[in-house]
Structure 1
């Protein structure tokens, strides 16, 4: 049984509910400082995974080629387009909120942002596939702590709508985790280590983005996760 997606989804749901109940009672300084802590934690998790790399050239080549593929197919823009489609659902929620048209527009913008953040993050996609292939849920469990507080902070302004995002997030992560099970028989420990290292790079740059240091195109780097193990296999075969 895949426990990582269940824990992560529960963290978002509970965090969203608690944040909505707290509302403006959460100190402003906490809302501003916590994302920096989240980003630092994400970077540290990434470093730990990168250190497990089996073939350094594989990790570098996978990230470079994966980013090029993502840029060429406009992957981040496509994910943004899907997020835009979520505005339809968000609009229904926004209409139930009292306030001006400007406040509803701000609500929509923020709500779409968290849908993308929770459902299409590199850490979530990697963590789900990692658990499916290795049975190790530690990445998603660690991510759950971050998502719990992130959801709570967003929910102080967006309300209980944040908790609803746990549903699509859970579905996506379960599909990825169980899909990765079919990949497991074709992998080796070295391939899994290189895959984990590539995931670590994505988690590291995600931390930079969360901290606001540099906005890396993380979504465009997601193809690196797909090509990491094939490149690792080819590297071992030819080198």
Structure 2
């Protein structure tokens, strides 16, 4: 059962509802300061995942090759393009009800959180990891982050934040079931290197959330697809 994806999506729905409900009661100072804590928490989860590493060379090679592939196909821009396609349907859905919120800045923020919640390295890695190992700890930890992140965003965007749970759940559940089908072909050292690559991407995600450095997280994601084959080849010839 995909416990992690379900809990994570419910966290966004709950956070979006609470943030919109209490938007006039949450201090502005808190809204501006909390993303730093969210970023540090993501970095902490990343460090925890890196400790499972089996061999460093295939991990580094996967990151380099995967990031190069992501840059060549412009994966991050593609995800942003898909997210922008959400804008018009949302405008048509909500404009009849509350046109005061649909400023360009409003929709720009909304598109931003669609990318943040649905295409983050932590979510993708966590879904694949749970599908392969049954370990829900990463996605449950992410759920705490998403609960409060959704709450903070909803203070300015309103109830529309809850809708982001839909694309996020669809992506996570797809990755979860795909991961389960490849589990019989993996070994413990491959999963360890996979966890390490995901951990490094989570650290980069934390730095981005904190506003320290805007890493192209989406362009690094292909590394998750190639790390296990590279790890297997490395173990056969050089392990």
Same fold judged by TM-score > 0.5? yes
Contact 1:49 1:200 in 2 (8 A): yes
Q: After superposition, what is the alpha-carbon deviation per residue over 1:147-198, rounded to whole angstroms, capped at 9, x for unaligned? A: 0001001111111110111122111101110110011000000000000000
**C-alpha deviation, 1:94, in angstroms:** 4.6
Aligned equivalents of 2:2 and 2:202: distance in 1?
A: 21
Query: How many pairs are equivalent?
Result: 237
Check conservation: 1:94, 1:108, Cα contact below 8 A.
no
Cα distance in structure 2, aligned partners of 1:92 and 1:41: 36
How is 1:76-115 mapped onto 2 (pairs within 5 angstroms)? 76-95=76-95, 96-99=97-100, 104-115=103-114
Q: Which runs of 4+ in 1 moved over 3 A?
A: none
Paired position in structure 2 for 1:218: 217
Structure 1 length as normaliser, TM-score?
Answer: 0.97
The reply to whether residue 191 of structure 1 matches residue 190 of structure 2 is yes
- Does residue 232 of the first structure (1) align with residue 219 of the second (2)? no
Task: Determine the C-alpha separation between the residues in 2 that align with 1:152 and 1:176.
Answer: 26
Please list the CA deviations of residues 47-105 of structure 1 after superposition, one character each: whole Å capped at 9, or x if unmatched. Answer: 111111000111111111110000011111111110111112221245132328xx521
Residue in 1 that maps onto 2:22: 22
- Secondary structure at 2:52 match in 1: coil
Q: Report SS of the residue matched to 2:117.
A: helix
Structure-to-structure mapping, 1:36-55, within 5 angstroms: 36-55=36-55
Alignment of 1:156-195 (within 5 A): 156-195=155-194
Q: Which residue of 2 aligns with 1:149?
A: 148
Q: Alignment RMSD, CA only?
A: 1.1
Per-residue deviation, residues 93-135 of structure 1 (Å, max 9, x unmatched): 45132328xx521111111111111111111000000000000
Unaligned runs of 5+ in 1: none
Query: The residue matched to 1:185 in structure 2 has which SS?
Result: helix
